Structure 1
Amino acid sequence: MQLKLAIIGCGTKATQYIQTWISRDDIVISAIMDPNDKAMANVCQIAAGANKTAPLCFDSWETLLRDQCAALDAVYICTPHASHAAQALLALELGLDVLLEKPMVTTVAEAEALVAAQETSGKTLVVAYQGGLSPLVNELKDAIANQTYGPLVSINAAIWEDWADKYQGHWKQVPAISGGGFMFDTGAHMMNTVSKITSQPFSRISAMMQNLGFPVDVVTTVSGELSDGTLFNLHACGRAIRCVSRIECYFPTAIVRICAWGRWMEIEDAQGNVVRKDQEAANNLMNVFMQTRLGEITNPSDVRQGLRMAQLWDAVKLSASQHGAPVTL
């Protein structure tokens, strides 16, 4: 059975996925919307190069959803963060399943509205955290829960990117649209993966931020503990080289390292032997979404997890605004 898919937002990230999804026989990209005509023209060229029919193009996401909902199964939303809530709410109201880019929303109120809408509609909403959908992240989650390497002792996580200069003047650095800076953009992958692997709520945190002259946070550090008492550190640096992440989980018998996107995992034993595993991301994201909407697996990145992330981000901002004063979640 083919998935009839619409795509709202055809920027860099969406285009990367489109280049992979367009050649699949089980997906039909039926309609697209982007305020930039060149972006939509680029998608049509990709379709032509894959010998696929060009999708219908719209200049309004509302028009696309309302006019095409009867002919669609689902929508992938890849737009600026502040637009996510309204677009996902309408899609659910119209009976569509939703694959929604991270972060799910920018406020707790928006998250609560999406939780209610999803539960009322009964439709599927998957938040597109590659880490949250990664088999490697879920393998590590199970290992922690089963104490495969003994009890989890602590977590040290970092993520860095040449983000501040690369996105200078971009919507990602406009607070009203982005909802935050580097920690809420790329750093959200790290926060979500740490939350996912531990299966424990964040209990208390202390955060510090620096803007480094930019309109949003560029460097953020968070120290805290989970509800079971496990201590963790999160460090996000948006003025560095490349885009890299390393999350280290310490156990009595091993150190397990994984990236925020779940693309690789390394297991080091007491003798220093390292086993590395790798995972492809683009098709996995869509495969997990399709399996979830068909009821074949439990949603690994649902609206409830999106709500927890919104609550964490509010706590980070509150603590940082109080010069690192501890905040209880």
Structure 2
Amino acid sequence: MSKVLRIGMIGCGGNGRGHLKNLVSRGEVQVVALTEPSRAMLERARQEIPALAEVPAYANHRQMIKHNELDAVGISTPHTLHFRQVMDALEAGLHVFCEKPLTTSVAETRKVIAKSRRKRKVVVVAFQRRLHAMRRFMRSFVRDKAFGRPLFVQSFCSQGWLSGTRGTWRQKLALSGGGQLNDTGAHIVDMIFWTMPARPVEVTALIDNRGTEVDIDSAISYRFADGALGNISIVGSGPRNLFWEDMTIVGSSGQALFLRNGVLYASTGTETLEFKSFGRDGDRVGHFIDVIRGRARNESPPEDFLPTIAFTQACWKSAKLGGKPVKIRY
């Protein structure tokens, strides 16, 4: 591998441009090629990021991979396209940074895991919450012996997703693979698996598509392998001017942790504490580079995405069955 990490970016939409701005600001990285089928999106990326003015662009990721010397790719495209793009990059011997969801099925995720292991290449799923100092504090707090065994978990997320994504690929099942539960909701589900010491084993879900092709509002209850209970409310029909997220975890020792839209409280059983300082958050793109360079352990590998998509698929299945319980198959 060269001293400068040569990266090709697949997708120059809003998320893609955010990652590109991050990449071009790093001295040890060079963006050497782009894939973007939309001329308008490509021109917008070049206008916002002057460093991309002379970077060659392709309408197809396979052509980009074929005609450029690359070390890695970044992927920020409609969700159902991820699997083929990830697999082609790995087959070419490239490291992969991929927006969530990594894939839209358990079967696809297993194939990515097998391919990345066989090729011995890094795959990082862009779950930024895993690198947030507050979330890391929460994980340590819940897994401390003083907290006891987690008994109950409540997660809530409200977003104006229905109105905000109307008319876009996110509400087209063939491109998104699912709705709010598989989009912003993927972050919520991932935090449950990453924070809790046990995995959910059974789920029951009621979902309303609100007249669209994909899930918008989801009411989910589930049971962990160790007997703990949980529920998730994913509200995609919320107001556009307010994003809200809560999480509550109750432990057997009488302690509890309460996240209220970015503000964290803990109850010790005798007093309630508010935590305000957690240190510096990590950066997804920087983490990807550090993992490739051997400076960090991969905090978000494809193996960790498998439980999230397995849970999500079980929710969709339960909803189709009218809310009947469904075992989660990992």
Decide: shared fold, TM above 0.5: yes
- 1:275 aligns with 275
Asked if the contact 2:22–2:285 (Cα under 8 Å) also holds between the matched residues in 1, the reply is: no
For the residues of structure 1 that align with 2:170 and 2:278, how far apart are their CA atoms?
Answer: 29
Check conservation: 1:77, 1:99, Cα contact below 8 A: yes
Residue 140 of structure 2: aligned partner? 142
- Between the two proteins, the alignment pairs up a number of residues equal to 320
Distance 1:227 1:156 in 2: 17
Alignment partner of 1:153: what SS? strand
Q: 1:46 to 1:26 in 2, by over 3 A?
A: farther
Task: Report the Cα distance in structure 2 between the residues aligned to 1:165 and 1:279, rounded to whole angstroms.
Answer: 35
C-alpha distance in 2 between matches for 1:222 and 1:284: 31
CA positional deviation for 1:254: 3.7
Whichever residue aligns with residue 23 of structure 2, its letter is: W
SS in structure 2 at match of 1:315: helix
Contact kept? 1:201, 1:227, Cα under 8 Å:
yes
CA distance, structure 1, for counterparts of residue 159 and residue 5 of structure 2: 34
C-alpha separation in 1, matches of 2:256 and 2:312: 30
Q: Which letter does structure 2 place at the counterpart of 1:207?
A: A
TM-score, normalised by the number of residues in structure 2: 0.90
Q: 1:199 to 1:74 in 2, by over 3 A?
A: farther
Moved more, 175-184 or 21-30: 21-30
Distance verdict in 2 for CA 1:272–1:130, change over 3 Å: same
d(CA) in 1 for partners of 2:80 and 2:325?
A: 27
The share of aligned pairs that are identical, in percent, is: 24
Counterpart position of 2:193: 195
Q: Distance in 1 between matches of 2:169 and 2:84?
A: 18
2:120 paired residue number = 122
1:185 alignment partner in structure 2: 183
Which residue, 157, 160, 163 being the options, matches 2:161? 163
The residue number in structure 2 matching 1:35 is: 37
Following superposition, the deviation at residue 279 of structure 1 comes to 7.0
Q: TM-score, normalised by structure 1?
A: 0.90
Counterpart residue number, 1:318:
317
Unaligned runs of 5+ in 1: none
Q: Structure 1's 278 and 42: CA in aligned 2 closer, same or farther, altered over 3 A?
A: farther
Contact 1:206-1:319 at 8 Å conserved across structures: yes
Residue of structure 1 equivalent to 2:64: 64
Q: Is 1:26 paired with 2:28?
A: yes
Pairing partner for 1:152 from 150, 153, 162? 150
Residue 304 (structure 1) aligns with: 303
- What is the Cα deviation at residue 278 of structure 1? 6.0
Please give the alpha-carbon distance, in whole angstroms, between the structure 2 residues aligned to 1:105 and 1:302. 13
SS at match of 1:99: strand
1:206 aligns with 2:208: no
CA distance in 2, matches of 1:297, 1:185: 27
Distance in 1 between residues matched to 2:73 and 2:111, nearest whole Å: 18
Counterparts of residues 240-259 of structure 1 (less than 5 Å): 240-241=238-239, 242-251=242-251, 252-257=254-259
Q: Give the stretch that moved more between structures: 52-61 or 85-94.
A: 52-61
Corresponding residue for residue 294 of structure 1:
293
Paired AA for residue 298 in structure 2 = N
- 8 Å CA contact 2:89–2:95 kept in 1: the answer is yes
Matched, 1:93 2:95: no
> Cα–Cα, structure 1 residues 111 and 140, in superposed 2: closer, same or farther, change >3 Å?
same
**Which residue does 1:2 correspond to in 2?**
4
The alignment partner of 2:109 has SS state of: helix
Amino acid at match of 1:105: T
How far the C-alpha of 1:148 sits from its partner, in A, is: 4.5
Q: Where does residue 18 of structure 2 map in the other structure?
A: 16
Aligned to 2:46: 44
Q: Secondary structure at the match of 1:194?
A: helix
> Deviation above 4 Å: which 4+ runs of structure 1?
278-281
Deviations 1:292-323 (CA, angstroms, capped at 9, x unpaired): 22233322211112222221122111111111
Q: In the TM superposition, what is the alpha-carbon distance from 1:158 to its structure 2 partner?
A: 0.9
Which blocks of at least 5 consecutive residues in structure 2 are unaligned? none
CA contact (8 A) 2:45 2:52 kept: no
